[in-house]
Amino acid sequence: MSEFKPLVFSGVQPTGNLHLGNYLGAIRKFVALQDNNDCMYCVVDLHALTAQLVHDDMPGQIRSITAAFLAAGIDPQKHIVFNQSQVPQHAELAWIFNCVARMGWMSRMTQFKDKAGKDREQASLGLFAYPSLMAADILVYRATHVPVGDDQKQHLELTRDIAMKFNLDFGDKIRPTGLGVDITVGNEPVHAYFPMVEPLIDGPAPRVMSLKDGSKKMSKSDPSDLSRVNLMDDSDTISKKIRKAKTDPDALPSEVAGLSGRPEADNLVGIYAALADKTKADVLAEFGGQQFSVFKPALVDLAVDVLAPITDEMRRLMADPGHIDAVLRDGGERARARAEKTMMEVRDIIGFVR
């Protein structure tokens, strides 16, 4: 083999409500990638335990992310949609990666530092090992391309470090199996079993910020529901939230440079541009010089137009949990077959007797 087969993989945690930022930043990209790639989209329920061990409605959370994938236009027949816990090979490979990754690497993860806060002694071992499970999610399929938000870039670098160390440490064992691929990393030739994953971060996806504070990311964990547009919000709620969004007193500028130092204006223009599939410059060419009293109603109409069909479809799907579960079971079965193939090879490379 001279190259890894291209495969797109991404995951979304079933914690809290999906919002506009998740849709524009991730799910819409997942949808677009389907045209030219083999894709796997995973509801990472094992990861959700690192945020909170006991959930009030774990099944509902898993189904609602799945419903959002389907409602947004991901095709579970051409591609694979599944939840992580149905494929135990993720956890098995994560254990092996726990033995590959170094404490020092993990300790440098900024997401761990943020989430663990001051009292690290009280953070779970799962939270610390989170990126190792994420690497396993991707590499158990030897996936090559991972669409994520830029906050996940560091985790993907770690995924590459883990893959590289595995490839080098087991190099002599990989070669005789004939399972490896000759790649170059930097200028070094490497006989690799695991690919060096590429993040797919750029593209039209904006960083969608809080509607109440243009310097903070729109987040499911923000205590103020007014800070975000949820994918399940009805049109009246979307309208109310956008009308109440924080702004400044000035009119919109006619050029993008005029948005600097105006984070709230920048955010709303960015959201409009993303929803309309235009650039911020296009939007300002249209609305430059106008007050927010004109721009906000236009943004409400656009947001409702784009989101209402998705929201309606999500509600329809959520009314039939049996159908969603069947989609996940089918995806899980197909994912398991692929993951087990890798794990058979990994067990052989390591030398486990079977």
Q: Does 83 bind ligand TRP (CB under 6 A)?
A: no
Closer residue to ligand TRP (CB): 152 or 227: 152
3-state secondary structure of 189: strand
Closer residue to ligand TRP, CB minimum distance, 11 or 180: 11
What is the footprint of ligand TRP within residues 249-288 (CB under 6 A)? none
Please, which of residues 148-187 interact with ligand TRP by CB under 6 A? 148, 152, 155
Which of 167, 215, 161 is CA-nearest to residue 189? 167
Q: Which residues are catalytic?
A: 115, 217, 220
Taken in order 41, 45, 51, 55, the sign of the CA dihedral is positive
Backbone phi and psi for residue 199, each to the nearest 5 degrees, phi listed first: -75, 145
Considering only residues 39-58, where is the footprint of ligand TRP by CB under 6 A? 44, 47
Identity of the residue, 162 or 252, whose beta carbon is nearer to ligand TRP in the bound complex = 162
* Residue 138 in contact with ligand TRP, rule: CB under 6 A: yes
The stretch near ligand TRP (CB under 6 A) out of 145-153, 161-169, 205-213, 290-298 is 145-153
- Provide the 3-class DSSP secondary structure of residue 172: helix
Please, which residue, 137 or 264, has the CB nearer to ligand TRP? Answer: 137
* Cα–Cα–Cα angle for 290, 293, 295, rounded to 5 degrees: 55
Minimum Å gap between C-beta 150 and ligand TRP is 11
* DSSP letter assigned to residue 209: B
Residue 13 CB, shortest distance to ligand TRP, in Å, is 5
Query: Which residue carries 């243009």 as its tokens?
Result: 214
Stretch that binds ligand TRP, among 3-11, 184-192, 233-241, 296-304 (CB under 6 A): 3-11
Q: Which residue has the tokens 């784009």?
A: 306
By beta-carbon proximity to ligand TRP, the closer residue of 130 and 272 is 130
Cβ-based nearer residue to ligand TRP, 38 or 137? 137
Q: How far apart are CA 159 and CA 97, in angstroms?
A: 9
Q: Using the rule CB under 6 A, is 10 a contact of ligand TRP?
A: yes
262-to-21, 213, 242, 252, 257 alpha-carbon distances in Å: 19, 11, 17, 10, 10
* Shortest reach from residue 131's CB to ligand TRP, in Å: 8
In the complex, the smallest distance separating the C-beta of residue 298 from ligand TRP, rounded to whole angstroms, is 31
Tell me the backbone φ, ψ of residue 146, rounded to 5 degrees.
Answer: -130, 105
Residue number with the smallest Cβ distance to ligand TRP: 11
**How many angstroms separate the CA atoms of 167 and 164, rounded?**
5
Of 65, 17, 14, 11, residue with least CA distance to 221: 17
Of 147-155, 253-261, 271-279, 293-301, which part binds ligand TRP (CB under 6 A)? 147-155
State the DSSP string of 308-352. HHHHHHHHHHHT-HHHHHHHHHHHHHHHHHHHHHHHHHHHHHHT-
Q: Examine residue 134 and tell whether it contacts ligand TRP (CB under 6 A).
A: yes
Stretch that binds ligand TRP, among 10-18, 91-99, 221-229, 231-239 (CB under 6 A): 10-18
Does residue 13 bind ligand TRP (CB under 6 A)? yes
Binding region for ligand TRP (CB under 6 A): 9-11, 13, 44, 47, 134, 137-138, 146, 148, 152, 155
